[in-house]
Structure 1
Amino acid sequence: MKFLSLSLLSISALSTLVSASPLAASIDQLRVSASETERRLIQISEDSPAKWMTESDKESLLRAGIKFMDITEYPEPSVSSLSTEWQPFIPVKAEYQDEVLPFIGNLTTDTMKANLQEFTSFYNRYYKSSYGAKSCRWLIQQIRDVAKGYNHVSVNEFKHSWDQFSIIARFEGSNKDLNDELVIVGAHQDSVNMWMPSFGRSPGADDDGSGTVTILEAFRSLVHNGFKPERPVEFHWYSGEEAGLLGSQAVSRAYEQEGKKVVAMLQNDMTGYVGAKGPVIGIVTDHVDEKLTDFLKTLVDNYAGIPYTLTKCGYACSDHASWRKVGFPSAFTIESAFEDSNQHIHTTGDTIDKLSFDHMKEFSKVAVGFSVELSHVRK
């Protein structure tokens, strides 16, 4: 997630960040310093032309709370069109409550707590750092442990030019004619410290450790309770979101080039913080697919124990934007309205003690409902 209120940052927090940096972090700084002058093609809106910037320029955008997409490898127009030969069908009402509710009943906050405690123990999860490389290997092992022994579930690395790979877990569909017709639930695994991105301490508990463990818990319940979808359902954990949606752009473009057809994609970015206005599920209404977003409201009404609130996100604020860019329907849930969300992200203060696992569980319920409902073929 790429937004922050700078007014809430303190000088003491910055001092803590500097003093806490271990030797390994300094090595990471040396490792990435060679690329700081490399120029990257950056877009900050759909209406303005992209500009060439250095990594330092990108870091300035991050500190200013300006959302951006790094389109260096994918400089095509922001939004492309799907082939008229196939268009995804988005339902308007929930019809599979009897199937969904047992999966929801088996969700637990215990595994989310254990996973997030370990996930935030890495010094940071910056996509180019040694810690980011280690954290993704730890994460994929947890996912593989969940899927072990289930032959219709696979877990794979999606490698990038940097060391932190993205992760794709896939339920094979029972209808082989729909093998390339997918439902995707996503989150991003990387974290960033906006003052010292390459080597600063960044626990990233909410951004996006919360989304990471939210969808991992939904995945666990589906796997362990016998989910066998009609069309394939995939869970994705992206690398490099904080650097301009790099991992999700690579995955979405690869899928487009391979001829895969994404029926719907749901992003979970920051699901753990309860704002001043109380527990809600924020549903983003801009830069998303309107029909899928309307169906998402129905899923919250049917499966969550808290209401939704509508909010706006802006351009390229999370990985759903990468799927929209190639023309696939995408939607986005967040912990609250944006103005009421966690202001400690991108700092050393993004820690577990500020989060509610019961709140995360509500998002897991919606992710389960999304997976089951959209895995069925409807006309």
Structure 2
Amino acid sequence: MPPTDPDPCHPNPLFPSAAQFIEQTHNITASLADSALQDDLKALTSFHTRHYRTSSGRDAALWIQKRLKSVPSGATNTTVELFQHGWKQPSVIARIPGVSNTTVILGAHIDSVNMYLPFFLAAPGANDDASGVVALLSVFDALSRSLLSPTNTIELQFYAAEEAGFWGSAEVLSSYNNAHRDVHSVLQFDMIGRMASKEKPAVGIVIDYLPASFNKYLKLLVSTYLDIPAVDTACGYACSDHASAIRYGYAGGLVTAGRLEASAAEDVSHTGSDTMERIYIDHVMEFTKLGVAYAYELGFADLGATAGGGSTGMRGYTCDLGYPDGWLGDVRRFAAARATDPLGFALWFLAVVILLALARPWEEVPWLMRMGRRVKRVFRRRSRSLYTKVAARDD
């Protein structure tokens, strides 16, 4: 039966007013290790690119699936699945089933991109967003090794094609929407591995379209479990895959490294310079603790009846709000700006010249052939004239 909420596509999920499982969460975070983060980060950045339309991008997703399946699981019925799309790279979903199908989601995106020449140049994507991926891999390690039987279902989702415009997360969460799945909330980890040089370490909570109750709860978790503070920051557009959650009527939030306003001048995302050497592992570790706390606290909480339909794990409606005005437009403008800066423009021009040289279209199109012959004749006449002048001078 549909809920009585007059505006069901704007859910207001309930968040606990206090941390309830402090000792249990601390016991789990004690098992986290920097070495695991470093090893996973090295493996992910070793792919030449994780672009969603490339073979190496698919291989990166398959590596994540294999890595998740290699974890000895004490949790009940833990599963790891691929979510196939219409392009090469799949998304990966790891699930720890609960008594209820009401689902708590942590997300990060697999793909990387070099905006200068996406299919050719290296895109290690260490901060954007291998940092988020490795944090969630360690979260899954810590949770799945424990003897968990949570109240609510916990999912860790690794999305394909975020850089293209949140395509992977949109398809995953659209399928949940169409299946009437009750998702309590989605928290995205993106670019969590590097602070601006003059900034103190902090968890940046992106407040664009974020419910106040969600923001308050994240700050509660940070103050309870982390050694660094939380700060509010703004992105100005969709920023990451949490936008897909909001699109389909779920509460979506995004955390990143400190204030985006401070890090913009030093941002090397979407280039070959986004390398592992720039990542602060201890900062990634703080976010990993946040991921464990978020998953455990909400996984075991009595979330009660949400606007989405309650503890049954189903909601009585579907909805598609679309993305707020300008979100995807800003993403496209960013890509265009990166591709048409001086270096980007020079590389695209070079690529066009090479393609024309290989295709030689003037040999197939009559008017291009005539133009080509005229250019050759002019060039030859000028060459002969120059040769004659030089020869006369030498004589």
- Answer yes or no: same fold by TM over 0.5: yes
Provide the secondary structure at the position in 1 that maps to 2:106.
Answer: strand
- Contact 2:194 2:280 (C-alpha < 8 Å) held by counterparts: yes
Distance 1:305 1:322, change over 3 A: same
Q: 1:314 aligns with which of 232, 236, 248?
A: 236
Once residues 123 and 212 of structure 2 are traced to their aligned partners in structure 1, the CA distance between those partners, rounded to angstroms, is: 34
Letter in 2 for 1:98: E
Q: How many residue pairs end up in the alignment? A: 295
Structure 1 match to 2:84 = 159
Structure 2 match to 1:281 = 203
- Contact 1:156 1:169 (C-alpha < 8 Å) held by counterparts: yes
Instruction: Quote the offset at 1:81 in angstroms.
Output: 5.3
Per-residue CA deviations over 1:106-148 (Å, capped at 9, x if unaligned) read 1111111001101100000000011101111111100111255
Provide the secondary structure at the position in 1 that maps to 2:104.
Answer: strand
Structure 2 match to 1:119 = 44
Once residues 112 and 159 of structure 1 are traced to their aligned partners in structure 2, the CA distance between those partners, rounded to angstroms, is: 26
My pick for the range that moved more, 135-144 or 336-345, is 336-345
Q: 2:119 aligns with which of 160, 182, 198?
A: 198
Structure 2 match to 1:95 = 20
Instruction: Quote the offset at 1:292 in angstroms.
Output: 1.1
Structure 2 match to 1:243 = 164
Once residues 378 and 263 of structure 1 are traced to their aligned partners in structure 2, the CA distance between those partners, rounded to angstroms, is: 8
Instruction: Quote the offset at 1:218 in angstroms.
Output: 1.0
Once residues 195 and 151 of structure 1 are traced to their aligned partners in structure 2, the CA distance between those partners, rounded to angstroms, is: 45
Distance 1:118 1:83, change over 3 A: closer
Structure 1 match to 2:326 = none
Structure 2 match to 1:272 = 193
Distance 1:199 1:152, change over 3 A: same
Q: Percent identity?
A: 35
Provide the secondary structure at the position in 1 that maps to 2:187.
Answer: strand
Structure 1 match to 2:149 = 228
- Contact 1:193 1:346 (C-alpha < 8 Å) held by counterparts: yes
Instruction: Quote the offset at 1:150 in angstroms.
Output: 5.0
- Contact 1:239 1:246 (C-alpha < 8 Å) held by counterparts: yes
Structure 2 match to 1:82 = 8
Letter in 1 for 2:201: P
Greater helix percent: which structure? 2
Distance 1:238 1:270, change over 3 A: same
- Contact 1:189 1:208 (C-alpha < 8 Å) held by counterparts: yes
Give the TM-score taking structure 2 as reference length. 0.72
Consecutive unaligned residues in structure 2, runs of 5 or more? 1-5, 305-395
Once residues 275 and 148 of structure 2 are traced to their aligned partners in structure 1, the CA distance between those partners, rounded to angstroms, is: 33
Structure 1 match to 2:268 = 344
Structure 1 match to 2:181 = 260
Once residues 204 and 179 of structure 2 are traced to their aligned partners in structure 1, the CA distance between those partners, rounded to angstroms, is: 33
Instruction: Quote the offset at 1:290 in angstroms.
Output: 2.4
Distance 1:328 1:345, change over 3 A: same
Distance 1:366 1:258, change over 3 A: same
Structure index of larger Rg: 2
My pick for the range that moved more, 155-164 or 337-346, is 337-346
Pairwise CA RMSD: 1.8
Once residues 298 and 27 of structure 2 are traced to their aligned partners in structure 1, the CA distance between those partners, rounded to angstroms, is: 17
Q: State whether structure 2 residue 106 is matched by structure 1 residue 185.
A: yes
Q: 1:209 aligns with which of 130, 142, 145?
A: 130
Instruction: Quote the offset at 1:219 in angstroms.
Output: 1.1
- Contact 2:76 2:147 (C-alpha < 8 Å) held by counterparts: no
Q: State whether structure 2 residue 299 is matched by structure 1 residue 299.
A: no
Once residues 247 and 147 of structure 1 are traced to their aligned partners in structure 2, the CA distance between those partners, rounded to angstroms, is: 28
Structure 1 match to 2:54 = 129
